[in-house]
Amino acid sequence: MAELLALEYLLRRDRLVVAAGLAVVVALAWVYLAAGAGMDTDMADMAMDTPMPWSPFYAALMFVMWWVMMIAMMVPSAAPTILLFATIRRKQEPADHPSVEAWMFCGGYLLMWAGFSLVAVLAQRGLERAGLLSMAMASTSAVLGGVILLAAGLYQLTPLKHACLRYCQNPVLFLSLYWQPGAGGALRMGLRHGAYCLGCCWFLMALLFIGGVMNLVWIAGIALYVAAEKLLPIGRALSRLAGVALCAAGALLLARALVA
Q: Give the separation between CA 208 and CA 219, rounded to whole angstroms.
A: 7
Q: Give the separation between CA 213 and CA 123, rounded to whole angstroms.
A: 12
Work out the burial of residue 50: count CB atoms within 10 Å of its CB; fewer than 13 is exposed, 13-18 middle, 19 or more buried.
exposed
What is the pLDDT, as a whole number, of residue 77?
92
Cβ atoms of residues 105 and 189 within 8 Å: yes
What is the pLDDT, as a whole number, of residue 31?
93
What is the pLDDT, as a whole number, of residue 5?
44
What is the pLDDT, as a whole number, of residue 147?
94
HEC sequence for the chain = CHHHHHHHHHHHHHHHHHHHHHHHHHHHHHHHHHCCCCCCHHHCCCCCCCCCCCCHHHHHHHHHHHHHHHHHHHHHHHHHHHHHHHHHHHHHCCCCCHHHHHHHHHHHHHHHHHHHHHHHHHHHHHHHHCCCECCCCCECCHHHHHHHHHHHHHHHCCHHHHHHHHHHHCHHHHHHHHCCCHHHHHHHHHHHHHHHHHHHHHHHHHCHHHHCCCCHHHHHHHHHHHHHHHHCCCHHHHHHHHHHHHHHHHHHHHHHHHHC
User: Phi and psi dihedrals of 80, rounded to 5?
Assistant: -60, -40
Q: Give the separation between CA 220 and CA 224, rounded to whole angstroms.
A: 6
What is the pLDDT, as a whole number, of residue 124?
94
Cβ atoms of residues 32 and 74 within 8 Å: no
Q: Give the separation between CA 156 and CA 201, rounded to whole angstroms.
A: 9
What is the pLDDT, as a whole number, of residue 38?
62
Q: What is the pLDDT along the chain (260 residues), one digit of tens a residue?
A: 444 444 444 455 667 878 888 899 899 999 999 887 666 555 444 545 555 678 889 999 999 999 999 999 999 999 999 999 988 887 776 546 667 888 999 999 999 999 999 999 999 999 998 888 888 888 899 999 999 999 999 999 999 999 999 999 999 999 999 999 888 999 999 999 999 999 999 999 999 999 888 889 999 999 999 999 999 999 999 999 999 999 999 999 999 888 86
Q: Is the pTM of this model over 0.75?
A: yes
HEC sequence for 169-221 = HCHHHHHHHHCCCHHHHHHHHHHHHHHHHHHHHHHHHHCHHHHCCCCHHHHHH
What is the pLDDT, as a whole number, of residue 136?
80
